[in-house]
Amino acid sequence: MAGIAGMAGRTGGDRRVRALRHVRARAPRSVLVEVLRRRRRALAVGCLASTVHQVCEALVPLAIGLTVERAVAGGDPGRMAVALGLILLLFAVLATGGGVSYWVLNRAVQQEAHRLRVAAVGRVLAAPGAAAGRTPGELLSVVTSDATATARVPALLTRVLSSVAALAVTAVVLLRIDVVLGLCVVLAVPPLVVAVDAAGPRLEARLRERQQAAGLTAALAAELVRALRVLRGFGGQTEAARRYRTLSHDCLDADVTAARASALVLGATLTATAAVTTAVVALAAVMAYSGRIGVAQFVTVAATAPFVADPVAGAMAALQQWAAARASASRLGPLLHGAPPLPRQAVAPARALAPAPAPDGGLRLRAVGVADAVPFSLDLAQGEALGVVAVDPAVASAFVEVLAGDRPPRTGAVHAGRTSPDPAHPRRLRRHVLAAPHAVHLFGRTVDEMLDSGREHHPARHARALDVAALGAVTAARGAAAAEPADGATDLSGGQRQRLALARAVAADASVLVLHDPLTAVDAVTEDEVADRLFTARRTDGGITVVVTSSPPLLARCDRVLFVGHDNIPVLATHPTLLDVPDYAETVLR
């Protein structure tokens, strides 16, 4: 039984992995190239310093060989003193080069990761389409770990280049001792690196799968934490834990496969380098034995040749991480480049948004058709409040979307102020219209932060908005209203959170405010009170208010109500008049 259920869960996970695989690869290269271009200064300085460091490292075994053969074997204290002095100098240069490259590159990597992260989040927030159906948990993993892996490329490139420099030094040392020995290294190492690198794509695929599985696992964990209260409500923890385990096991399998693949690559690299270096040493031993090179030179070879392994291993490790960086960049890329750029006005600098005066001539709807409703015309003057009631929820939703500029109307046009309606750019309406979504999402830790939506900040406006939402008493009870932390607003009740969201909408002071079922989680007395304060405040400010709702306390306070019944014919009248229409009475029935 459990086995069958377990298998069902497993195939589900596989399907998810497979489905996500299609998301990848919008030219990871371009992201990596961008990163390198942006960090070119750090790259240049880091490369230089790292090359100095690596060359010094390559010279250390040479220094040991020379010291042993010239000073230790000779027994000359003067030479010994010089040799030790030179070794200390070599280390001083080595340490400086290493330190500079470490700092410069690490700083660049962290700054770049930060930059990529903020750019990706900014992009998703400015154009939600960029997220392309990925869960917030997955996105979090992309903008944290994938951003860091992608940002690592300057450090990786540096490591490859400085390893090549170190190899060159070793090759030169060997060439000067004997051409054959030098040629061994010069000729053997490049094909070796190329051969191992050929395994790259396979390894990259394994690493990508591993990363993907890890991302899914983390996403599920994040979702379960978020839904903790709901889960406990129906006792789903055990089943949720089982599903998480299944996914975690998939992730473990991917880890093991990836470990096997990278161990294979490592083993091949090490074996090949060991073969090259021992061949060189053996050749030198034979040469020294036969007198072709001196014993001192043999000691130098014996000291230097094994060092070949270090830069080769370093370069290979960097290439492996490069594969991981490419995999990460392919997940990050769509967030940075995926969605088409927004029309300019849609990303107007929010900080500069002053409360726009109500559009001259108010809001004019001309032969506007939404969903299946018959087109209608309607003028709203400054300070006017319109209720919207539709039997078909799709009509109400479509109406909100049209006013919000999410999409153009099926027919006709919406005129706000002097903006001429443009079907290609419905979002232009947003200069005048704020359509607050029904779902409550509050941002920040303090009430003040939660009320801030990027408009010009007036403390008085916040206080007034709280008062409109009848939250004055609540915030007073919490102490200093503004500074009180309310993490995730979790100890606020559902009704209080909904009213905080309403207060935010009021504080935004939009010339046209569209509200969708704003007071569904509030008790009858409070609903009545808030409805009264809301319309009074909006009227005083001269703002237009549109409320899509079926709540009588709100509808009764609207100047007019637009009703779309079963016949899809819009009717414009007042709430008391409409109560005589059976369709309407049925819809607002409590």
Residues 6+ apart with CB under 8 A from 107: 42
**CA-to-CA distance for 156 and 321, rounded, in angstroms?**
7
* Residue numbers 285-304 binding another protein by CB under 8 A: 285-286, 288-289, 295, 298-299, 302-303
* Residue numbers 370-429 binding another protein by CB under 8 A: 391, 393, 404
**CA-to-CA distance for 82 and 64, rounded, in angstroms?**
13
Phi, psi of 470 (to 5 degrees): 55, 40
Closest CA to 252 of 219, 201, 209: 209
- Please state the closest distance from residue 377 (CB atom) to another protein, in A: 25
**CA-to-CA distance for 108 and 40, rounded, in angstroms?**
10
Residue 587 touching another protein (CB under 8 A)? yes
Residue 549 touching another protein (CB under 8 A)? yes
Residue 235 touching another protein (CB under 8 A)? yes
Nearer to another protein by Cβ, of 30 and 110: the residue is: 110
* Residue numbers 118-137 binding another protein by CB under 8 A: 118, 121-122, 124-126, 128, 131-137
Residue 511 touching another protein (CB under 8 A)? no
**CA-to-CA distance for 233 and 226, rounded, in angstroms?**
13
**Nearest-10 crossing angle of helices 295-304, 153-177:** 170
324: how many CB neighbours lie within 10 A of its CB? 22
Nearer to another protein by Cβ, of 366 and 571: the residue is: 571
* Residue numbers 35-64 binding another protein by CB under 8 A: 60-61, 64
The site string for another protein over 144-183 (x = CB under 8 A, - otherwise) reads xx--------------------------------------
Nearer to another protein by Cβ, of 29 and 245: the residue is: 245
Residue 546 touching another protein (CB under 8 A)? no
* Residue numbers 441-500 binding another protein by CB under 8 A: 441-444, 452-454, 474, 485-488, 490-491, 493-496, 499
Q: Are 335 and 146 in contact (CB under 8 A)?
A: no
Single out the segment in contact with another protein by CB under 8 A; choices: 25-33, 168-176, 341-349, 358-366. 341-349
Count of residues making up the chain? 590
Q: Tell how far CA 228 is from the center of its chain.
A: 24
Single out the segment in contact with another protein by CB under 8 A; choices: 354-362, 516-524, 538-546, 561-569. 516-524
Residues 6+ apart with CB under 8 A from 554: 387, 518, 519, 527, 531, 547
Residue 249 touching another protein (CB under 8 A)? yes
- Please state the closest distance from residue 247 (CB atom) to another protein, in A: 10
**Total chain residues near another protein (CB under 8 A):** 182
* Residue numbers 554-583 binding another protein by CB under 8 A: 555-556, 575-576, 579
Three-state SS at 446: strand
Residue 190 touching another protein (CB under 8 A)? no
Nearer to another protein by Cβ, of 12 and 33: the residue is: 12
How many DSSP H helices and E strands does the chain contain? 22, 9
Single out the segment in contact with another protein by CB under 8 A; choices: 152-160, 196-204, 223-231, 408-416. 223-231
Residues 6+ apart with CB under 8 A from 433: 363, 403, 404, 405, 416, 510, 511, 512, 513, 514
**CA-to-CA distance for 518 and 435, rounded, in angstroms?**
11
- Please state the closest distance from residue 493 (CB atom) to another protein, in A: 5
